[in-house]
Chains A and B, each alone.
Chain A
Amino acid sequence: MIGGLFIYNHKGEVLISRVYRDDIGEAGLKAEQPIISRSVPKPVSCLKRNAVDAFRVNVIHARQQVRSPVTNIARTSFFHVKRSNIWLAAVTKQNVNATMVFEFLYKMCDVMSAYFGKISEENVKNNFVLIYELLDEILDFGYPQNSETGALKTFITQQGIKSQVPTKEEQSQITSQVTGQIGWRREGIKYRRNELFLDVLESVNLLMSPQGQVLSAHVSGRVVMKSYLSGMPECKFGMNDKIVIDKQGKGGGSEEAAKSGKQSIAIDDCTFHQCVRLSKFDSERSISFIPPDGDYELMRYRTTKDIILPFRVIPLVREVGRTKLEVKVVIKSNFKSSLLAQKIEVRIPTPLNTSGVQLICMKGKAKYKASENAIVWKIKRMAGMKESQISAEIELLPTNDKKKWARPPISMNFEVPFAPSGLKVRYLKVFEPKLNYSDHDVIKWVRYIGRSGIYETRC
């Protein structure tokens, strides 16, 4: 299991160091193995320094770009993730579950952000006692324990909501929640107004050839909820999942489904928050759960079929001699004309030896950004079924570089008020048998946002 966890700043100075196991200290310090296997006790502080230093020297201060997120130095493995300038490194000498270690590091980041916002050197230093207390609780002897922020907040003393000594009942309530089946929600939550916010957030990814052929396209979507519900409500979520609709269609006659005009979508795969009963989903494909309180991500999904591509980019690049390049890019919006796309940005890469750019665009503003080697064309709003165009003349400095310019793809950013996958929420039912409020007392809000993921067209 995880032998230790370190947090470094960008200079490689240690901000947090928590060692769970002795073995990791010996990293890199053994030039030769002593023949006679009698360990001489060394001060702990000196031992663990070695692992700390090994990582700093070999990874943070390494001259080369990071070639792998897992590094093995002297039979000790280091896992790292980076958040802005901060490095989080988990260290082990065993054959641990690598996926788990990374998941844990991300979770650690989530928990820290939930407590003190952005993970920066300043914030880490400001909260180091809290971080130690958290590490003590969520990682015992290197085994990850309950890491749901909701549950942690009940008994972490640092800046926790509990300042006074909890009563006996509260104590046992805390422990049963932390270890219990529903570790993500505590009992006895009350709201005057029961409210639910449901966001379908999708990011649509595209890779298109210069000729307009879709090389790959997929939507990765998330259903994000905010729930303010009293008690321990039982929720059921339904969407236009093809498998479910087809199943119902068989029972109630497919005409009905066709009549209602509801399109169903084929979901390639989906994953759920741990509150969702997976076995029920597996057998009946119904999504039922007791929600955490507040913000959480209910599910993630991925679709690849029948995706609505909101924009089409048509590039035209012509090299005029060795010192000039003509670029023309047309974008077409491909959705209902009543809808408006926002925050549109087209990024056209330019060669490194660009000396000057002349731009003409029909709509929005365009600028050549030399520091980013790109032309950035921004349009605030654009309705569906429209078309716009930019043309650029790029002047180049003559170079004797043999290698041709790699022509990176043209990328695009945008936001549209619909789900490019075609996903529709059909229902979200709430049952709370013990308290007396019913499903239609709950105020529910649904919103769809489609954003560009990696939306690229090669040119």
Chain B
Amino acid sequence: MTDSKYFTTTKKGEIFELKAELNSDKKEKKKEAVKKVIASMTVGKDVSALFPDVVNCMQTDNLELKKLVYLYLMNYAKSQPDMAIMAVNTFVKDCEDPNPLIRALAVRTMGCIRVDKITEYLCEPLRKCLKDEDPYVRKTAAVCVAKLHDINAQLVEDQGFLDTLKDLISDSNPMVVANAVAALSEIAESHPNSNLLDLNPQTINKLLTALNECTEWGQIFILDCLANYTPRDDRESQSICERVTPRLSHANSAVVLSAVKVLMKFMEMLPKDLDYYGTLLKKLAPPLVTLLSAEPELQYVALRNINLIVQRRPEILKHEMKVFFVKYNDPIYVKLEKLDIMIRLASQANIAQVLAELKEYATEVDVDFVRKAVRAIGRCAIKVEQSAERCVSTLLDLIQTKVNYVVQEAIVVIKDIFRKYPNKYESVIATLCENLDSLDEPEARAAMIWIVGEYAERIDNADELLESFLEGFHDESTQVQLQLLTAIVKLFLKKPTETQELVQQVLSLATQDSDNPDLRDRGYIYWRLLSTDPVAAKEVVLAEKPLISEETDLIEPTLLEELICHIGTLASVYHKPPSAFVEGSRGVQHKRLPGSAGSGESADSPDTGSAAGVSEAPPAVIPSQGDLLGDLLNLDLTPPTTSGPPPAPSSGMQMGAMDLLGGGLDSLMGDESEPPPVPQRTDTPQSPQLSHQSPSPPDYSPTELGGDLGGSPAMGAGFGAPPTAMPASFPPPVSGGLDDLFDLGGSVGMPMGAYSPPKSIWLPAMKAKGLEISGTFARRAGVIQMEMTLTNKAMSIMTDFAIQFNRNSFGLAPAGPLQVLTPVGPNQSIEVALPLSTVGPVMKMEPLTNLQVAVKNNIDVFYFSSQYPISMLFVEDGKMERQVFLATWKDIPNDNEAQFQIKDCHLNSDAASSKLQGSNVFTIAKRTVEGQDMLYQSMKLTNGIWVLAELRVQAGNPNYTVSLKCRAPEVSQCVFQSYEAMLKN
């Protein structure tokens, strides 16, 4: 018998026919009909009309038919909640059935019916099933608690199901334990601060016992849960590791990877001189290699994880290079990942082999793969100095192939090699110049231009080459434009006599004909520099560049630590923290590795402060900063010595701002045990730690910088002519900025009253038969009030006042009746204050803060609309934790950021801060960069929307810049208006 026939009935009147069949007396016919219904459901046809008929089939002893009906119910109950109630009785009855399979089926299905009304009926049967004598029913009930929690968390807590679930961790049946653990873990994830999964040595022991006995899936749940535990000391850590290591031989890769996660985490606590530590390291390599013989999809996941593991503990796989060699038939995603790991493992010992492989790959077909292979050769050159020469000659060979994308990729990496080994391989420049015409990708063009500019003195026709690019200047991408501007300035400084015309041409192109603020600003900076002090310009632009570091593309250490805690999961596949792709509260909780036993500090003590981490070596690479440095280098403005001329103000500012965006600060504040990477920011060219994320200096992303450069208003204002004012000196660079940030604490001034706009006339007397209403909104002691003056300009007495609001964006509604107790006589006016609540019906208004009001009196009903300042809605508990702030700031996509200018405001930053605090805009941190104060502020609206702000105040400059980030970007405009109103009031 085949089921496919059910898919084919698409006649008219089908529903009617099915209805008849469903009500048939014959069991077989009924069953057939239900199958047909389910087939229609699968292909997306709406068969909800048959609901009552299908539900009628539910009362049967036949398990098969029952299962079919339940399947249908799960799908349609939500759209037919009232009908679904009909099924409740059967469910409740089935939960008492003598057959445990039916009991379990009933409780399982009931949990899948996500209808509020049903959940109430679910509680009693569920309670019984959680204590059922049969383990099969108990394990199903355990999952059901998680389902119920998803529908109605409060109900689960009120009914005490969580405690019952906790008890199940001690159940005698391993599968019940595993499911209880899984359910609790998921529930705990949505309550980050609850102590639901109270992991203590006793429960851990129970879990470890169950681990040996339960199914493969159960083992995964338990291992993933174990990974959240922090052992008390190294001994406990070791004993857990010992009991987990046997899992490394499991056939299921997920069991293996979850075990690896537990081991990687707990290893942090073991002293490195311990014998067991070495044994453990050795035990980890073989299972990881074995994962590479699994199916390609699993290989991919494994490789993404190995990439993390290799960064954290390179020693584990250092001898296993060969297994990462690419096979001809590997899917492309496996190939690309293997290549990445090969570069990470490359060392002097194996470089010959690696290079031979890479050369082989560079002749493959897949374009992405070939590009990456070429780039990898360059990275090898940078990483292993001994191999540099061979790499360069390999790259030259590849350039000779004249395959367009190979050539371009090779040029990009050769530029990095020049940076790493200055004055060594410049002889190849001639070969590179031959290929100038074939370059059509921005990155390659930019790289080539950089090379020409940097080595202009060695290239005879450098001016001609650059001039040829200039023709199509406006068609180039920003990256190329910026690079071209810099290169021509360099050329001019090197050969001033012949190139004056060229430099003027490019400066005018950049400053007058371009809409790009980055380009314009850089143009102005150069212009100004060249016109005021050419010697200084030379010192700045042609400054010696710091060497680039050998390790590239490393993941930032705090993120890496977090990702190690997420081995095996999606986060480790994406190489992003869960908060980046999971909605809601689940992702916000950041996991961290436990502190190592050696350093003697506990990861849990929040007050260790930044000083505690000094003993540890500073992390070598902070990509977000690297980016900045790359950008800065790109500007070629790094001062060669401390006495050199200051860099342009925008660059310093941009660093500060970018840093916050990029998360460098996050690593600082989010992770107290790590030393702040601040020193890197003040890098002088000699600094050995310099590094950048991508090996290409022209990695200048205009979108990232956004309007940051616009933050120097003097530049913007001076459009069309070179800027006239440049600050002459600067406070010592940013190193102090962070301290400022930390000691801000309670320095916020006394809160003043919330801002309230002056009253304005909402309803003129002419329109309302003599009634004039003027009013305003205010927030007083946490209550939103609408304060009105009612004036009677008519001849008769007015009485019986009442008020009503239309639905509005934030659910504003009168909290009580309008209190006008005495009649209002002619020419009399009275003041009323109407408290408002925010629980009214909601409808999005345009503009957002529009409020439509109806006022009634004994004469008529009048309508008017008014706009309230959104600051009324800022609630008192709108102060975010710093860490949460940083995480949220990062988490909100950049598209949601809005930037505004507030003009002519003459407050200093502290005054502004306290003024804003009066209106529940809380300053979370403040720092000072280059004479500019940055205030980081948060506020929360009554409906729970958070708005984050960065306010930039520069002493002596009346123009403020506000950047707002919010998950609901629509509110930004209103918030900005409020800001302006609050500050100027």
Taking Cβ atoms with an 8 Å cutoff, the residues of A that contact B are 1, 13-17, 19-23, 33-38, 41, 43-45, 49, 65-70, 72, 75, 77, 79-81, 92-100, 102-106, 122, 125-130, 132-133, 136, 140-141, 143-148, 155, 157-158, 165-166, 168, 171-172, 174-176, 178-181, 183, 207, 209, 215-216, 218, 220, 268-274, 277-279, 281-282, 297, 299-300, 302, 402-404, 406-409, 411, 454, 456, 458
Which of these, A1, A105, A273, contacts B251 with CB under 8 Å? A273
Decide if A179 touches B251 in the complex (CB within 8 Å): no
Decide if A279 touches B246 in the complex (CB within 8 Å): yes
Known A-B contacts: A102-B253, A172-B134, A409-B328. Give 11 more (CB < 8 A). Answer: A36-B844, A68-B300, A68-B333, A70-B300, A77-B581, A128-B38, A136-B71, A168-B98, A183-B175, A216-B322, A218-B323
Which of these, B2, B250, B587, contacts A278 with CB under 8 Å? B250
Docked Cα-Cα span, A394 to B558, in Å, equals 57
Decide if A300 touches B251 in the complex (CB within 8 Å): yes
Docked Cα-Cα span, A34 to B944, in Å, equals 13
Which of these, B112, B302, B403, contacts A403 with CB under 8 Å? B403
Decide if A21 touches B150 in the complex (CB within 8 Å): yes
Which residues from B are CB-within-8-Å of A140?
Answer: 108, 140, 143
Which of these, A38, A272, A274, contacts B215 with CB under 8 Å? A274
Docked Cα-Cα span, A314 to B247, in Å, equals 43
Decide if B295 touches A72 in the complex (CB within 8 Å): no
Which of these, A36, A147, A209, A454, contacts B809 with CB under 8 Å? A36
Which residues from A are CB-within-8-Å of B296?
Answer: 69
Given A36-B943, A67-B333, A458-B360, decide whether A95 and B78 contact each other with a Cβ distance below 8 A.
no
Residues 284-310 of B contacting A (Cβ, < 8 Å): 286-287, 289-290, 293, 295-298, 300-302
Which residues from A are CB-within-8-Å of B582?
Answer: 75, 93-95
CB distance from A181 to the nearest CB of B (A): 5
Decide if A180 touches B583 in the complex (CB within 8 Å): no
Which of these, A98, A127, A157, A279, contacts B570 with CB under 8 Å? A98
Decide if A99 touches B251 in the complex (CB within 8 Å): no
Docked Cα-Cα span, A220 to B329, in Å, equals 17
Does B166 count as interface, using CB distance less than 8 angstroms? Answer: no
Decide if A75 touches B583 in the complex (CB within 8 Å): yes
Docked Cα-Cα span, A41 to B115, in Å, equals 11
Does B574 count as interface, using CB distance less than 8 angstroms? Answer: yes
Which of these, A19, A20, A172, A281, contacts B249 with CB under 8 Å? A281
B 558-570 to A, binary, CB cutoff 8 A, 1 in contact else 0? 0000000010111
Does B276 count as interface, using CB distance less than 8 angstroms? Answer: no
B 329-370 to A, binary, CB cutoff 8 A, 1 in contact else 0? 101110000000000000000000100110010011100000
Offer 28 A-B interface pairs, CB within 8 angstroms, sorted by A: A20-B112, A33-B968, A44-B78, A44-B79, A45-B46, A66-B331, A66-B333, A75-B582, A81-B297, A98-B301, A106-B295, A125-B4, A129-B3, A136-B108, A145-B215, A157-B67, A171-B100, A172-B100, A174-B101, A179-B135, A179-B175, A209-B356, A215-B322, A268-B289, A274-B251, A282-B245, A282-B249, A406-B363
Decide if A143 touches B179 in the complex (CB within 8 Å): yes
Given A36-B842, A98-B572, A140-B140, decide whether A146 and B42 contact each other with a Cβ distance below 8 A.
no
Given A122-B4, A128-B42, decide whether A69 and B297 contact each other with a Cβ distance below 8 A.
yes
Does B206 count as interface, using CB distance less than 8 angstroms? Answer: no
Which residues from A are CB-within-8-Å of B573?
Answer: 70, 98
Given A35-B968, A165-B61, A271-B290, decide whether A171 and B101 contact each other with a Cβ distance below 8 A.
yes
Which residues from B are CB-within-8-Å of A180?
Answer: 135, 173, 175
Does B714 count as interface, using CB distance less than 8 angstroms? Answer: no
Does B578 count as interface, using CB distance less than 8 angstroms? Answer: yes
Q: Please give me the residue from chain B that is nearest to A121 by CB atom.
A: B4
Decide if B114 touches A22 in the complex (CB within 8 Å): yes
Given A172-B100, A274-B251, decide whether A44 and B848 contact each other with a Cβ distance below 8 A.
no
CB distance from B112 to the nearest CB of A (A): 7
Does B182 count as interface, using CB distance less than 8 angstroms? Answer: yes
Does B436 count as interface, using CB distance less than 8 angstroms? Answer: no
Given A98-B573, A175-B101, A179-B136, decide whether A45 and B79 contact each other with a Cβ distance below 8 A.
yes
Decide if A125 touches B3 in the complex (CB within 8 Å): yes
CB distance from A345 to the nearest CB of B (A): 16
Decide if B63 touches A157 in the complex (CB within 8 Å): yes
Most buried by A among B139, B217, B287: B217
CB distance from A84 to the nearest CB of B (A): 15
Which residues from A are CB-within-8-Å of B101?
Answer: 155, 171, 174-175
Given A36-B844, A129-B68, decide whether A99 and B3 contact each other with a Cβ distance below 8 A.
no
Does B146 count as interface, using CB distance less than 8 angstroms? Answer: yes
Docked Cα-Cα span, A38 to B112, in Å, equals 22
CB distance from B211 to the nearest CB of A (A): 9
Docked Cα-Cα span, A218 to B221, in Å, equals 33
Given A122-B4, A179-B173, decide whether A406 and B249 contact each other with a Cβ distance below 8 A.
no
Docked Cα-Cα span, A96 to B581, in Å, equals 11
Which residues from B are CB-within-8-Å of A127?
Answer: 3
Contact-residue size bin, chain B (C-beta under 8 Å from the other chain):
35 or more
Which of these, A80, A95, A302, contacts B578 with CB under 8 Å? A95
Which residues from A are CB-within-8-Å of B247?
Answer: 278
Docked Cα-Cα span, A176 to B101, in Å, equals 11
Taking Cβ atoms with an 8 Å cutoff, the residues of B that contact A are 2-4, 6-7, 35, 38-39, 42-44, 46, 48, 61, 63-64, 67-68, 70-71, 75-76, 78-79, 98-101, 104, 108, 111-112, 114, 134-137, 139-140, 143-144, 146-147, 150, 173-176, 179, 182, 186, 212-213, 215-217, 220-221, 224, 243, 245-247, 249-254, 256-258, 286-287, 289-290, 293, 295-298, 300-302, 322-323, 325, 327-329, 331-333, 353, 356-357, 360, 363-365, 401-403, 566, 568-574, 578, 581-583, 586-587, 809-811, 842-844, 848, 943-945, 967-968, 970-971
Decide if A175 touches B136 in the complex (CB within 8 Å): yes
Which residues from A are CB-within-8-Å of B586?
Answer: 94-95
Which residues from A are CB-within-8-Å of B365?
Answer: 406
Most buried by A among B328, B364, B843: B328
Minimum-distance CB pairs A-B, first 8: A269-B286, A175-B136, A282-B246, A125-B4, A99-B254, A100-B254, A278-B246, A95-B578
Decide if B35 touches A129 in the complex (CB within 8 Å): yes
Decide if A38 touches B842 in the complex (CB within 8 Å): yes
Most buried by B among A94, A136, A148: A94
Given A129-B3, A300-B251, A402-B402, decide whether A175 and B79 contact each other with a Cβ distance below 8 A.
no
Which of these, B42, B252, B300, contacts A274 with CB under 8 Å? B252
Decide if B217 touches A145 in the complex (CB within 8 Å): yes
Which residues from A are CB-within-8-Å of B111?
Answer: 141
Decide if A1 touches B213 in the complex (CB within 8 Å): no
Which residues from A are CB-within-8-Å of B220?
Answer: 97, 100
Decide if A216 touches B250 in the complex (CB within 8 Å): no
CB distance from B143 to the nearest CB of A (A): 5
CB distance from A45 to the nearest CB of B (A): 6
Which of these, A37, A129, A408, contacts B328 with CB under 8 Å? A408
Q: Please give me the residue from chain B that is nearest to A144 by CB atom.
A: B217
CB distance from B6 to the nearest CB of A (A): 8
Which residues from B are CB-within-8-Å of A272?
Answer: 249-251
Which of these, B42, B217, B295, B322, contacts A143 with CB under 8 Å? B217
Given A67-B333, A175-B136, A179-B139, decide whether A99 and B298 contact each other with a Cβ distance below 8 A.
yes
Decide if A158 touches B64 in the complex (CB within 8 Å): yes
Given A69-B296, A274-B250, decide whether A45 and B143 contact each other with a Cβ distance below 8 A.
no
CB distance from A80 to the nearest CB of B (A): 8
Which of these, B67, B224, B293, B325, contacts A215 with CB under 8 Å? B325
Which residues from A are CB-within-8-Å of B971?
Answer: 35
Decide if B75 touches A45 in the complex (CB within 8 Å): yes
Decide if A176 touches B174 in the complex (CB within 8 Å): no
Decide if B217 touches A49 in the complex (CB within 8 Å): no
Which residues from B are CB-within-8-Å of A126?
Answer: 2-4
Which residues from B are CB-within-8-Å of A411?
Answer: 328
CB distance from A147 to the nearest CB of B (A): 7
Given A75-B583, A165-B61, A302-B290, decide whether A271 and B568 contact each other with a Cβ distance below 8 A.
no
